[in-house]
Amino acid sequence: MSSAQLDSIDKKILLALQGDFDESPEPYVLIAEQVGLSESEVLGRIRSMLENGVIRRLGAMIRHMEAGIEFNGMVVWRVPPERIDEVGPLLAAFPEVTHCYRRPRFGKLGGTLFTMVHSSSEEGCLEIVRRMSEKADVREYEILFSERELKKVSMTYFNDVE
């Protein structure tokens, strides 16, 4: 499916997806109401766009500091390559982790696995990272604490739909 094959309903769905979601527990119901379809039809179209490469992924941005979560630490873990597939899911499963990525070597330790950890205090963040380290049996890591939150903006693909 190329962008030329998108109908006006698909474009309206993409227009809704590229912006901020309301605080509703059912954001796809709201999109369905906007485009005149059922929630299951909207989800089906989104699934189809994902399967056909129109959408590569859906992601959420949380404005952590606005939400009162003031201590955010990017933890750079030095994990041997043969353990990445084991350790990544272990660390990602912690409820305080919002991001977990494999990346090229970085930092003093040459870390290859990155997790973003959130807590209401620096001590809390350090305790979470200690528990993560124990569970994954990874002792080499460094924590980069956020100093401020930068402006977060979603990509814009459509401004309006004909």
- Residue 32 CB neighbour total at 10 angstroms: 19
Q: Are 116 and 97 in contact (CB under 8 A)?
A: yes
When divided into structural domains, the chain yields a total of: 2
Q: Which long-range contacts (CB under 8 A, 24 or more apart) does 38-46 make?
A: 42/13, 45/9, 45/10, 45/13, 46/13, 46/17
Asked if residue 61 belongs to a domain, the reply is no
List CB contacts of 112: < 8 A, sequence separation 6 or more.
77, 78, 79, 81, 84, 102, 103, 104, 105, 106
Tell me: do 112 and 46 sit in the same domain: no
Q: Is 13 contained in some domain?
A: yes
Domain check: are 86 and 139 in the same one?
A: yes
List, for residues 3-38, the tens digit of each pLDDT value: 457 888 999 999 888 877 777 788 899 999 999 999
Average pLDDT, the chain: 84
The CATH number of residue 79's host domain is: 3.30.70.920
Instruction: Tell me the pLDDT band of 157, cut-offs 50, 70 and 90.
Output: low
Do 78 and 38 lie in one domain? The reply is: no
- Single-letter code of the amino acid located at 104: P
Domain span at 128: 71-145
85 shares a domain with 23:
no
